[in-house]
Chain A
Amino acid sequence: MIRVETIHREDRSIALVLLDRPDKRNALTPEMLEALCEALEHAPNSHDAMVLAGEGKLFCSGFDLSLCKADPSGGAMRSLLTGLSRACTIMRRTEKPVVIAAHGGAIAGGCALLGGADVVVSDVHAKLGYPVTKIGVSPAVSAPFFCLNVSQGAARERLLLPELIAGTLAHELGLVHELVDTNEEVRTRSLDIATALAGKPPHAYAATKRWLNTLEGSDDSPLIKLALETSLSLTGGPEEQRLLAALGL
């Protein structure tokens, strides 16, 4: 369900890391996140840049909630939250460029993944957001990354309001860096950007990325750990179970 293709452009090698579960709108399972982390960790060794994209109609619809509903202990939810936090951290820490092609939609855990990228591309009609409090899940896990991309006021609104926003507003807020008109254009534009970034002098790119991580505190693992623990603290609880049980899955 995670596939890596190598795209050769100019004299550069781009790893196209694909969420490949289109029949389930690329809903994330613990195994997918494990494989995604592995791909994100290994791709920089043999590629100049990475593009994370999804097959099918949208980038990612979030966690596979049917797994969470079937596991009242909260174990599946815990694996998903931990894997998500790890994937974002790996993207931030890798010294190679990471572009996310968020076509169509990036919802809940799918939207949280955007926080790890250097550049996010989406389309005007895409739906993005964190409608997770309504299923008893705290989006705290993604807050350290999300707050870097949008103002603190907007982050508060987006993390507390369980609604989706269009690509245009996501772009205005800073969650998306580049916006194209149609979802078909998103991947091509992302590959263009990754190719351009891959052509930058690698040591300068790496030094600048490390320095930005330091300045913005995204290398501050205690904060990322605290955010994950906040989300984990609710897993398997009565509220989450009640709200998940009410979902028509």
Chain B
Amino acid sequence: MPKLALLDIQGPVATLTLNRPDAHNALSIAMLADAHACMDELEAIAERPESPTVLVFTGAGRSFCAGMDLKEVIIESDPTLPQQLLESLARLTFRIRNLPFVVVGRVNGAAIGGGCGLVTVCDLAITHEDAKLGFPEVDLGLCPAVVAPWLVRKVGPGRARKVLLSGGLLSGAQALELGIVTATVETRDQLDEAVERLVEAEAAGGRAALRATKELLNTLDGSDDLDILLQGAKLSAAVLATEDAQNRLKARRK
């Protein structure tokens, strides 16, 4: 079975690719496990002098990440699956954020719900103007509790409140206006060039300076707080298990 998350390291630049293109890279427990395995590798080499300066985070195919895999959050056989998935996602976001590399999101298409949460974990992110991003969780009767801390840190509490309580989707251009992404390009085919330019600029910077700065920023904004994310995973799983949320998810699957 092909790996559902791929890691490629080329000198100062590592690339982590979510690799379920047929499912728009929807977050499944198996894909998250493979992403955690990539984190193991990255953490193991993090302190080596030749370790990367930049991690590019992207999705295979035409989507970045379509959010939680509905098959695993509709409670049928195993009621513990949603909690497992959400806790794994919470831990993954924590590990990505606390890598000592500058993480650049190459948001190559839809980034929805937890997928958009992964964008907000990145230090920098680029997408195209007509990409679909956003947090439609409340529309589905869900509470985006795992991603909320990251969005609050990214755009501030006031804007995060408006975005998360309003649900729906945003264009790449709107995501730029809100500060969810760092930059946009007009069309998807311009994305690679823009990411390459950004990565080159970052990789050329002082490695120790970038690491120290990122570590300080993580301390200042509370990114080193795993407990709040695990608390969020529990809350999110509890809301997800309600009859209303389950009915809405089932209707969505149909």
Contact = CB atoms under 8 A, between A and B. Distances in A.
Given A174-B159, A216-B152, A204 B140 contact: yes
Contact of B244 (A150, A196, A203, A215): A203
A35 to B, nearest CB: 26
Contact of A149 (B143, B152, B156): B156
B109 to A, nearest CB: 26
Contacts of A177: 158-159, 162
A149 B141 contact: no
A192 to B, nearest CB: 12
Contacts of A174: 156, 158-159
Interface size classification for chain B: 20 to 34
Nearest to B143: A207
B42 to A, nearest CB: 28
A159 to B, nearest CB: 15
Interface string A2-24: 00000000000000000000000
B242 A203 contact: yes
Contact of A201 (B141, B149, B156, B162): B141
A119 B167 CA distance: 13
A200 B157 contact: no
B156 A151 contact: yes
A175 to B, nearest CB: 8
Interface in A205-222: 205, 207-209, 211-212, 215-216, 218
B138 A208 contact: yes
Contacts of A204: 137-138, 140-143, 239, 244-245
Residue from B158, B161, B235 whose CB has the most chain A CB atoms within 10 Å:
B158
B148 interface: yes
Given A118-B161, A177-B158, A211 B235 contact: yes
B99 to A, nearest CB: 23
B143 A148 contact: no
Contacts of A218: 157
B164 A212 contact: yes
Contacts of B164: 208, 212
A14 B235 CA distance: 29
Contacts of A201: 138-141, 244-245, 248
19 contacts: A97-B165, A119-B165, A148-B158, A174-B156, A197-B166, A200-B167, A201-B244, A201-B245, A201-B248, A203-B245, A204-B239, A207-B143, A207-B145, A211-B148, A211-B235, A212-B160, A212-B161, A212-B165, A216-B161
Given A201-B138, A208-B164, 16 more contacts: A149-B157, A150-B158, A174-B158, A177-B159, A197-B165, A200-B167, A201-B244, A204-B138, A204-B140, A205-B138, A205-B165, A208-B145, A211-B232, A212-B160, A212-B164, A218-B157
Interface of B: 137-145, 148-149, 152, 156-162, 164-167, 228, 232, 235, 239, 242, 244-245, 248
Interface of A: 97, 118-119, 148-151, 174-175, 177, 193, 196-197, 200-201, 203-205, 207-209, 211-212, 215-216, 218
